[in-house]
Amino acid sequence: MKTTGDLVRSLTFPFSQRTVLKHIGTMEGLENIPRTGSFVLVPNHSSYFDHFVVEFVVNAVRGVPTWFLTKKESFERTLPRIWSEAWYGIPVDRDSPSPETIRAIQRVFAAGDVLCVYPEGTRNGSSELLPFKAGAFRFAMRAGVPVIPMGIVGSSSVLAKGQVLFRQGSVHIAFGTPIMPSSMGSKNEQAQALADQAHDAIKKLMNQAEKNASMTHKDALSNKGAALVDELITASLDENANLPQRTRRQIEFLLELYLRTNPVDPDLQTQQARLRGLEATSSRFLRKILHANQMRHQATKVLRQIPEHKDANYLLGRWYLGTPQLLGGNKAASQHHFLVSANSSPAGDTRALAGLAEAQLAAGRVSAAKSTYRRVLSESAPEDPRTSGRIAKVRKELKKLSGFSDDHV
């Protein structure tokens, strides 16, 4: 049964998401967000808007909510309480957390969710960090989870303290590498060591976010973003290479955030085309055609910039192979694009070779397909998470093709 908080969140979710998308600037270090398990996120804090930037960005990578330790005064009146509960607030007495607060935090960690604690303890309008409170780090120590530092700049220009109207401006963010609690020294010394490490890391991340904000060329950030999107898609595919709808929407939003940084980046555009293709596989006839053609259009657009782009060629190979001839499918074109993709792929990446073998087989070139399948077996990188499934399929195909040649088809 839905609570009042659930209803408030569902009603305000679209506006909040659009607002984050509108004001997001550069993003760096999202690959440092752990893919599984809980962690304590510790950002600097200058604006109430920080909550929403954190919530939507972390959710786009992890797909789980981020809970915020929120001053207990926000829960004393009805409307602020409903709002705080709706957006994952946990009431806390900053001087002495109650047993209820401790239990709520334990539930967050038990569920594998994320806990965000602002270590300064309050919003800070200065560019200099306030002294850190130990609470955030003690929670991480008790649970044995990593601390992820985060730098945020620009949020106070979008939503200043005490204001309710958003202004023009961009928020730039950077995530640091995980910091694990140490077992050396007393509990107080361990907490202080964590706080000192996080303080130094957040200051550096704020400086990096400032630097990124003034960058003219953001290709390096876009490349990291495209690599992260590719990793998330690949890790989320089921055994039939389908992407769950909820996960697809989550990753689509992450991609939209990155495209705000560099809307013409070919790697990001290719991942967008890939998502359209995955949507096509789970759609019915007319929507399948629509999404497949969107994929084709976006991939073709990328090839106008980079004719040898491995992923765009792979997607077009799939399109020409899977589309009926009446609608533009072409087995020769499919083989061409798979071959270009295979030749552009790094050593060990045999995805395009497997596609090429499928296209050769569809064209009746059984001997060529068998030869290409054998290359997949011999050239696949064992550390690639996709390798085991691909090799199993290839061995199955080779077994079926045993004894067949082009003359038998």
- Domain end call among 215, 247, 282: 215
Residues 356, 369 within the same domain? yes
Check whether residue 21 and residue 155 sit in a common domain.
yes
Same domain, 145 and 237: no
- Residues 354, 252: one domain? yes
Please tell me the total count of domains within the chain: 2
147 and 227 fall within a common domain: no
Domain hosting 373: range is 220-408
Q: In Å, what is the CA distance from 376 to each residue of 41, 237, 311, 357, 394?
A: 42, 20, 17, 9, 8
Is residue 326 domain-shared with residue 308, that is, in the same domain? yes
Token digits of residue 58: 């972390």
For the chain, state the CA radius of gyration: 25
Per-residue pLDDT of the chain (409 residues; tens, 9 = 90+): 788 889 999 999 999 999 999 999 999 999 999 999 999 999 999 999 999 999 999 999 999 999 999 988 889 899 989 999 999 999 998 777 889 999 999 999 999 999 999 998 878 877 788 888 887 799 999 999 999 999 999 999 999 988 889 999 999 999 999 999 887 878 888 899 999 999 999 999 999 999 999 988 888 999 999 999 999 999 999 888 899 999 999 999 999 999 998 999 999 999 999 999 999 998 988 999 999 999 999 999 999 999 999 999 999 999 999 999 999 999 999 999 999 999 999 999 999 999 999 999 999 999 999 999 999 999 998 877 778 889 999 999 999 988 665 544 4
Asked if 313 and 304 touch (Cβ cutoff 8 Å), the reply is no
Altogether, the residues listed in the chain come to a count of 409
Q: Provide the CB-side half-sphere exposure for 177 (13 A, CA).
A: 0
Query: The domain that contains 125 carries what CATH number?
Result: 3.40.1130.10
Task: Classify residue 142 by burial, with Cβ atoms within 10 Å: 0-12, 13-18, 19+.
Answer: middle
